[in-house]
Structure 1
Amino acid sequence: MTLVPSRYNFVVQDDGARTALFNTLTGGLMMLEGRDAIELGAVLLQTGLRLSGDEFPSDLLARLRGGGYLVAEASDEIAEIRERFWRARGEAPVVITITTTMDCNLACYYCYEERSASRLKTDDVEKLVTLGLDRVAASRRPALHVDWYGGEPLLNPEFIETASVALQEACAARGIAYVSSIISNGSLWPDDVERFITRHRVRQVQISFDGLKAHHDKRRRYRRLHRQKDGGEQPSSFERAVALVDRLVKCVRVDVRYNTDRENLEDMLPFLDFARDRGWFDADFPAVFQPARLAAYSQSSSFMRRLELTIAEFDDAREKVRNKLSGVASVEESEIPDGFPYPKTSVCAALANNSAVLGAEGSIYRCGLQVGEQGRAVGSLHDKNAPPSAQSASQLPGSNDSEWWQSFDPTKQPTCSSCSFLPICWGGCPKKHLEQDQHALREQGRYWRTNLPRLIAQAAGFASSPVLAEFSESLQFRMSNDSVDGRRC
């Protein structure tokens, strides 16, 4: 049998004599030492090399084949990735993201959502329950995850109270497991925080910060309509969010998201000291810190380009966060939530076959970042011409997005299909592909070129930084001519 090096091999060396082999398709990590290991690493990166297997001792050959570093010439690695991707789409948990309102009490300067008076009403609850049950039935998975979303979801507490009870009762009657999560600015929660968490089966809460008090309050001001009506003093949005996290970490997982750009980067490390002093990282439910890079999420927020940190600048900031919180708290990177570049086996909810995003006006979307963009809706909860069981899937006239979402496959994208990061990336954010946002797609490739060496070295236990700090673009794209119609990501 003729063997060839996998297209998904990567090699990292430390400043001693150790070599780490990593394969993005299998997740295999293999440690070798000595000059022979360096030469072997070079061999495994060659394109078009054909081997018989006799070149290696039998035990080494078995390890190389077992880890996926050497594969049969006739094997189709891209087909394996494709099969894994579509299996993940079909087996993904059912997540219904519910936008209770498009209104918000804060005026974050970078917000990409269009505020409006749209809000879900208690009259919508029955159809919402039908939507959730239909999606669970289609998935054949006995579980439903509800994500309360906005705007600020707690500007519509009546709907949450009514819908949550109805969904939980419907799931319990059918033996369906139910949990929820909520994304909030933390300034409008009810007084009974702990009971709210229990009552609504909340498993996870995300609270966002924009720095310490001065920066946060400047960037997250109360909107005029939501200021205290009696003219008296009210706690700032920072003070309210801090007081809330103080209580939440005693009863539920809290993801403390820090939104950063050029104007508040200086607060990031001092904010960690602040959070540590408040006991957030050693509470009953230790907070997880999530550094987030503010960027142009949609065309309406394209002005953010001038304030965005570059990938290199953001990576440098995250490295400082990791160092500061090492042994103290969990730091979650969106690209590698498990802390290791495992081959992907899950998809975002936008690609899950049976998940949905319900807009505050009753439209159904695939992606939460599209809520409110009527031209992006793929269905409606209020389609009177469709029977209740079909309303969750009815496509709006003139909408092409539904078909696009259903057929999206990164293994068939011209650039992604030739990229050696594909098994651990799956093309990144599919919304960026839909919008053909080449800037964001190039940044995705840049992230993996600059971070994968570090992640491999960290997993290998290297005490020092890897010799090669960044993978080349030619290593990322290992086609016969190292090009894909002149395109790169």
Structure 2
Amino acid sequence: MTLTRNWKQSSFNVPLGRSNNMTLLFNTRSGQTLEFDRTEWAAIQRCFDSLEHKDPAPDRELVSCLATLGFVVPADLDEFREEEERLHHSKLDDSRLFITIAPTMACNQHCSYCFQQNTPKTRIMSARMQQATIEFVRRKIGNSRHLVVQWFGGEPLVAYAAITFMTRAFKAICAELGVHYYAEMLTNGVLLTPKRVAALSQLCVKALQISLDGTPETYSARRQVPITKAEAHYHYLTEHLQDIVEATGSVTIRINVDRENIEEAKYVVRRFKRHGFVDRRIDFRLGFINTSRGLVDCVPHDCFTNTEFAQQEVAFRRFLESEGCMVYGMPRRKLYPCTAVVRNSFTIDPNGNLGKCVPTMGTPQSSFALILPDDMDRTMRDVETAEMPFERFNPFSSEGCRGCRMLPACLGSCPKHHAEGRRVMACSMQEGLADKIAFYHSFHRGLDNQAQA
């Protein structure tokens, strides 16, 4: 690396003071974190000052180290412009086709906090619409080298036959075209029989998320199921979680919490741990129950504020570490905030409504076109000519995000927050940031030390 050019401090440096007189320096573009005591931090600040004032003789060795890690960049580099262009290219990238399919909006449970409470519980996607969905995917796959399907609902396993039928067709299309096929599924897990668990690998489901609510008693009350069924479900999961992990390679246990049941999240982790489940492929995480999606009028629970939830997440991460679990969630540079902003990404509900936003499936909020089984040519024309939701999404020019140092790791978060007439009032990425970065810096340093031992 040459040091003959001029340098400057990165626009994406985030200094985070700690109560122990240490300072963390986190760069949201490179993902690197450094920790300094008072003396070291003073030296870093002098280095940055010398670059700002174009000192002809900066500490070249220090500048070189900081440049390697992304904390110092060429003086003529417009980092915000580069990140904005990167997002633009990611939105237009057609190397992957993302399809989220809800084969039904029906569900076998009645969760008290469900954001789909006002969504019509449609029947299972008809055989005719399944064929049309397959044809839509076949026509859209184009130059894509990867097909990523997410099974959603309702409860997707209510429509298990539809999933297996469409999966066979997707795999055949991909095999013919030399495209890699990958699937994910969000489920409550109740309908995951041993036979279906064994079939997950054949369905190419490589990532599975199962939601829980704490103890079986809380689960029973919130899902409106008998306590005997709740206890049986927990027993089944503890007996078969390892099989699910082996079949998929990645399992997320999402524990939906509020002020009433937050302590029960530890119960869930310890229950699985008692059965020997300390596996890097299992991601235990808290689910934030709130009304921020704006899709339901009321959530009948004592919900956390954004700040309170961030504090609970920090405590839960420390708990997971103490239990020997892998802890995911370190802020990283993103390609896009979610697939809703990607042009080659679509949601398909049981009626063939095409949309972009997964949480609004089954509602008209993000639907922009309709699959017409009898006129697929028109369907494709409608899709190609439509202005899709979030097509103009750009957090780099959005009020509330413009100029923010967190943008590479956040990209504005939910695109709905940037809709015309709205203003981003609170940034969840900023909540508890110092504690979050401090935890992951220490946690990953510990993992590195273990690997080197």
Could you state the TM-score of these two structures normalised by the residue count of structure 1? 0.79
CA contact (8 A) 1:25 1:343 kept: yes
Unaligned ranges ≥5, structure 2: 447-453
Residue of 317, 324, 329 corresponding to 1:328: 324
Structure 1 residues 323-332 or 76-85, which shifts more? 323-332
The 1-side partners of 2:190 and 2:16 are apart by: 46
Residue of 341, 354, 368 corresponding to 1:364: 354
Q: Is it true that 1:215 corresponds to 2:218 in the alignment? A: yes
Does the residue aligned with 1:376 lie in a helix, a strand or coil? coil
Residue of 11, 32, 50 corresponding to 1:7: 11
CA contact (8 A) 1:17 1:35 kept: no
CA contact (8 A) 1:383 1:394 kept: no
CA contact (8 A) 1:187 1:241 kept: no
Q: Is it true that 1:427 corresponds to 2:412 in the alignment? A: yes
Does the residue aligned with 1:22 lie in a helix, a strand or coil? strand
The 2-side partners of 1:190 and 1:395 are apart by: 43
Q: What residue is the counterpart of 1:197 in the other structure?
A: 200
1:275 deviation in Å?
1.8
1:134 deviation in Å?
3.0
CA contact (8 A) 1:262 1:309 kept: yes
CA contact (8 A) 2:337 2:412 kept: no
The 5 Å alignment of 1:214-233 reads 214-222=217-225
Residue of 282, 291, 316 corresponding to 2:286: 291
Q: What residue is the counterpart of 2:449 in the other structure?
A: none
Does the residue aligned with 1:95 lie in a helix, a strand or coil? strand
1:209 deviation in Å?
0.2
The 1-side partners of 2:267 and 2:420 are apart by: 37
Letter of the 1:188 counterpart: L
The 2-side partners of 1:160 and 1:306 are apart by: 33
Q: What residue is the counterpart of 1:240 in the other structure?
A: 233
Q: What residue is the counterpart of 1:280 in the other structure?
A: 277
CA contact (8 A) 1:131 1:391 kept: no
- Structure 1 residues 94 and 385, CA gap change in structure 2 (3 angstroms): closer
| Residue-by-residue CA offset, 1:259-290 (whole Å, 9 max, x unaligned) | 111221131112221121133334xx853212
CA contact (8 A) 2:216 2:234 kept: no
Percent pairwise identity: 22
The 2-side partners of 1:97 and 1:186 are apart by: 18
Q: What residue is the counterpart of 2:340 in the other structure?
A: 350
The 2-side partners of 1:460 and 1:356 are apart by: 35
The 1-side partners of 2:435 and 2:38 are apart by: 25
Q: What residue is the counterpart of 1:131 in the other structure?
A: 136
1:108 deviation in Å?
0.6
1:17 deviation in Å?
7.7
Letter of the 1:50 counterpart: E
The 2-side partners of 1:157 and 1:456 are apart by: 39
The 2-side partners of 1:429 and 1:385 are apart by: 34
1:50 deviation in Å?
3.4
Unaligned ranges ≥5, structure 1: 223-232, 397-401, 463-489
Does the residue aligned with 1:447 lie in a helix, a strand or coil? coil
Q: What residue is the counterpart of 2:450 in the other structure?
A: none
Residue of 7, 13, 31 corresponding to 1:27: 31
Structure 1 residues 30-39 or 122-131, which shifts more? 30-39
Q: What residue is the counterpart of 1:399 in the other structure?
A: none
Residue of 278, 300, 308 corresponding to 2:295: 300
- Structure 1 residues 16 and 194, CA gap change in structure 2 (3 angstroms): closer
The 2-side partners of 1:238 and 1:93 are apart by: 41
Letter of the 2:267 counterpart: P
Does the residue aligned with 1:194 lie in a helix, a strand or coil? helix
Letter of the 1:420 counterpart: R
1:170 deviation in Å?
1.8
1:106 deviation in Å?
0.9
1:345 deviation in Å?
3.2
1:101 deviation in Å?
0.7
1:128 deviation in Å?
1.3
1:417 deviation in Å?
1.7
The 2-side partners of 1:259 and 1:38 are apart by: 43
The 5 Å alignment of 1:90-239 reads 90-91=92-93, 93-113=96-116, 114-137=119-142, 140-222=143-225, 235-237=228-230, 239=232
Letter of the 1:287 counterpart: I
- Structure 1 residues 456 and 55, CA gap change in structure 2 (3 angstroms): farther
The 5 Å alignment of 1:386-405 reads 387=377, 390=380, 393=383, 402-405=387-390
CA contact (8 A) 1:99 1:360 kept: yes
The 2-side partners of 1:368 and 1:24 are apart by: 26
| Residue-by-residue CA offset, 1:132-185 (whole Å, 9 max, x unaligned) | 233321xx3322121111001111222112212122122222222212221111
CA contact (8 A) 1:344 1:424 kept: yes
Q: Is it true that 1:59 corresponds to 2:61 in the alignment? A: yes
CA contact (8 A) 2:100 2:347 kept: yes
Does the residue aligned with 2:232 lie in a helix, a strand or coil? helix
CA contact (8 A) 2:112 2:223 kept: yes
The 2-side partners of 1:108 and 1:437 are apart by: 30
- Structure 1 residues 133 and 237, CA gap change in structure 2 (3 angstroms): farther
